[in-house]
Amino acid sequence: MRIVIAGGHGQIALRLERLLSARGDEVAGIIRRPEQGDDLREAGAEPVLCDLESASVEEVAAHLQGADAAVFAAGAGPGSGAARKETVDKGAAILFADAAERAGVRRHVVVSSMGADPAHEGDDVFDAYLRAKGEADAYVRSRPGLDWTILRPGGLIDDAGTGLVRLEAHTGRGMIPRDDVAAVLAELVDTSATAGLTLELISGSTPVSVGVKSVAGN
């Protein structure tokens, strides 16, 4: 498969790129800064320079041409303010979905957040983040040209992955290593039977492949 990842230099994206390239997929990661390219090459991915905060749908669609799947893993990051939650976590996600439709890339996987909700209340930056992610998720769900799956991990940690997860429509709160999030994404990308599902993810007792097959059967 050829898979294009938005937010290609993110912590989850770099892990995902390593997994996908190791299994023989062709991977491209969209990045904003040229100096990030070496990290992607080291992970086995082709760096694609494109700023999703300023690019047009046509520009992004050109990068998606010929892809079998698209993964949105971009984020404004913990140090950013509410304005960039709107332009990246919401705006870039919507742009990427539109571009995937334009390019005819049906398989579309989104890394969202547990608690994402367009109606989430509050004035803190994290509240703005949850609203932005919720609005982006709602938009992706509305697109008839996408076979989407939305993944909502719990609290992200850098502990080594265990390969054991809980992946369900509703898991309740919990933590999850970024390694395991990447492993689940790698399975979801080519498990099109999960299209139309919004899934929460935390650490658990089920092997990743078994967990994905289980939800795909629902």
Residues designated catalytic: 129
**Of 203, 182, 191, nearest in space to 147 by CA:** 191
Q: Within 10 A of 36 (CB to CB), how many other CB atoms are there?
A: 17
CB 203 within 8 A of CB 159: no
Task: Find out whether 47 and 40 touch, Cβ atoms under 8 Å.
Answer: yes
For residues 28 and 66, what is the distance between their CA atoms, to the nearest angstrom? 12
How long, in residues, is the chain? 218
Longest Cα separation, the chain = 45
- Do residues 85 and 126 lie in contact, with contact meaning Cβ atoms separated by under 8 Å? no
Q: Where are the alpha helices (DSSP H) in the chain?
A: 11-22, 37-42, 57-64, 82-84, 93-103, 125-141, 178-189, 208-216
